[in-house]
């Protein structure tokens, strides 16, 4: 499957037009058309990232479909994907992630990463407080079930 075919399929599954995708990812409808038709065979990493974010699909997979060469570096709990231009060998992007989070639910991990990049510091603090409150409440509920008085 080509990059364009994959994007057409992902966009169609959501019932979106090319204009809808363009608006959601902040590129021109003409650029979406060029990528989907194969006229633009190797879009920039920023265009691919915005399309992946809008469609909630795998950015590394889009990079591979576009012909960027992937190197994977793994640690015990984390990974790093380095993408190079196949012609120049130049590094065009690096993706880092936590293995457990990605393996458990890649779509959620992608959404959480997008939120962490796009929120203001104040909004990030609010969400952190909400998340910690939720986790504490869940822990207390589990403890209450395990130790009924």
- State how beta strands 78-84 and 91-98 pair: antiparallel
Residue-wise pLDDT tens digits, 56-102: 888 989 999 999 998 888 888 888 889 999 889 999 988 877 777 77
**What global pTM score does this model have?**
0.64
Q: Measure the CA–CA gap between 90 and 15, rounded to whole angstroms.
A: 36
What is the three-class DSSP state of 27? coil
């Amino acid at each position: 499957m080509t990059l364009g075919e994959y994007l057409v399929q992902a966009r169609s599954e959501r019932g979106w037009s090319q204009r809808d995708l363009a608006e959601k990812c902040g590129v021109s409808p003409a650029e979406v058309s060029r990528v989907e038709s194969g006229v633009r065979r190797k879009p920039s990493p920023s265009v691919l990232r915005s399309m992946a974010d809008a469609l909630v699909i795998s950015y590394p997979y889009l990079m591979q479909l576009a012909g960027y060469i992937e190197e994977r570096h793994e640690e015990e709990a984390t990974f790093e994907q380095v993408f190079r231009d196949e012609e120049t060998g130049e590094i065009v992007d690096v993706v880092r992630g936590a293995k457990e989070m990605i393996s458990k639910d890649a779509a959620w991990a992608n959404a959480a990463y997008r939120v962490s990049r796009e929120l203001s510091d104040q909004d990030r603090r609010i969400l952190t407080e909400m998340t910690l409150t939720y986790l504490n409440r869940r822990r207390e509920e589990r403890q209450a079930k395990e130790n009924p008085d």
